[in-house]
Amino acid sequence: MTGMPAIRLADVRKNFGATEIIRGVSLDVAGGERHAIIGPNGAGKTTLFNLISGRFPITAGSIELRGQRIDALPPQRINRLGLSRSFQITSIFPRLTVFENLRCALLWSRGYRYSFWHLLPRARALNEATEALLRDLNLAERHDLPAGLLSYAEQRALEIGMTVAGGASVILLDEPTAGMSHSETEYAVALIRRVTEGKTLLMVEHDMRVVFDLADTITVLVYGRVIASGPPSAIRADRAVQEAYLGAMAA
């Protein structure tokens, strides 16, 4: 892991029509670190996630995952190379049960692909792995509940679980604590800390307590450009950041 960054963005640019949303972002995320991206609304944080995870093609530049170019690959290929993401808008499958949701996240990594002829109830190893993960997420009691009926905090926990389930070593979380109460946020932070142990975490987050609590490195994105990147103490002291972002929050 040492030496080569887990994710490397080099002068990444993205235009939507004539509008340049990402204007030359270069960023290294070291293997094993917890890295937060902050910035005001419209800075392009979620767009950056969509570029890294292959949802949108980039306009220029390059994106590498552990030294391998991924910027021309479709989302599923990037996932199979070991990068998994969550979405800002909760994207669990509301009609499937909690158990089925998690199992869906495990299917590919456990080698169950598009076979029609094997029946899932008989895939014992897969089902046991799913059960274990359910207990790990404290969702075992919700086993057969359609995921759409979970409480909001539980849905977010499930989504975090689905994101890490496939065993990816690089995890991207898009505002995992958005819309949560104080105690829910604390629980979510503890969960994120636990399930991303030993993995590389890149997260977009608005809650500054969460950011300064969780992140080893913080990158500040403003209008599609990185204006600062470094350890929390340096970011807190950075004048440009205070002016562009934190100052506005404090006021």
* Residue 22 vs 73, nearer CB to other proteins: 73
Instruction: Tally Cβ neighbours within 10 Å of residue 34.
Output: 20
Sign of CA dihedral 132, 133, 138, 143: negative
Under the criterion CB under 8 A, does residue 91 sit at the interface with other proteins?
Answer: yes
Under the criterion CB under 8 A, does residue 143 sit at the interface with other proteins?
Answer: no
Q: Which stretch binds other proteins (CB under 8 A): 15-23, 79-87, 179-187, 192-200?
A: 79-87
Footprint of other proteins on 144-183 (CB under 8 A): 162, 166
Distance between alpha carbon 81 and the CA centroid of its chain, in Å? 15
User: Rg of the Cα trace of the chain?
Assistant: 19
Instruction: Tally Cβ neighbours within 10 Å of residue 118.
Output: 10
Q: Which of 18, 115, 198, 250 binds other proteins (CB under 8 A)?
A: 115
Under the criterion CB under 8 A, does residue 94 sit at the interface with other proteins?
Answer: yes
Q: Which stretch binds other proteins (CB under 8 A): 27-35, 105-113, 136-144, 190-198?
A: 105-113
Residues 6+ apart with CB under 8 A from 147: 92, 93, 94, 95, 96, 97, 98, 101, 155, 158
Under the criterion CB under 8 A, does residue 17 sit at the interface with other proteins?
Answer: no
Under the criterion CB under 8 A, does residue 223 sit at the interface with other proteins?
Answer: no
Instruction: Determine which helix (DSSP H) or strand (DSSP E) holds 157, and give its type and residue range.
Output: helix 152-165
Under the criterion CB under 8 A, does residue 85 sit at the interface with other proteins?
Answer: yes
CB burial of residue 36 (10 Å; 0-12, 13-18, 19+)? buried
β-partners of residue 23 are 13
Q: Which of 20, 28, 64, 100 binds other proteins (CB under 8 A)?
A: 100
Under the criterion CB under 8 A, does residue 200 sit at the interface with other proteins?
Answer: no
* Residue 39 vs 82, nearer CB to other proteins: 82
Under the criterion CB under 8 A, does residue 69 sit at the interface with other proteins?
Answer: no
216, 186 Cβ separation under 8 angstroms? no
Sign of CA dihedral 39, 41, 42, 47: positive
Under the criterion CB under 8 A, does residue 210 sit at the interface with other proteins?
Answer: no
* Contact pattern for other proteins over residues 122 through 141, marking x by CB under 8 A: -x------------------
Q: Which stretch binds other proteins (CB under 8 A): 2-10, 36-44, 72-80, 215-223?
A: 72-80
Dihedral pair phi/psi, residue 198, rounded to 5°: 80, 0
* Contact pattern for other proteins over residues 33 through 62, marking x by CB under 8 A: --------------------x-x-------
Strand order from edge to edge, sheet including 19-29:
19-29, 7-16, 60-65, 68-69
Chain residues in the site for other proteins (CB under 8 A): 53, 55, 74-76, 79-80, 84-85, 87, 91-96, 100, 103-105, 107-109, 112-121, 123, 162, 166
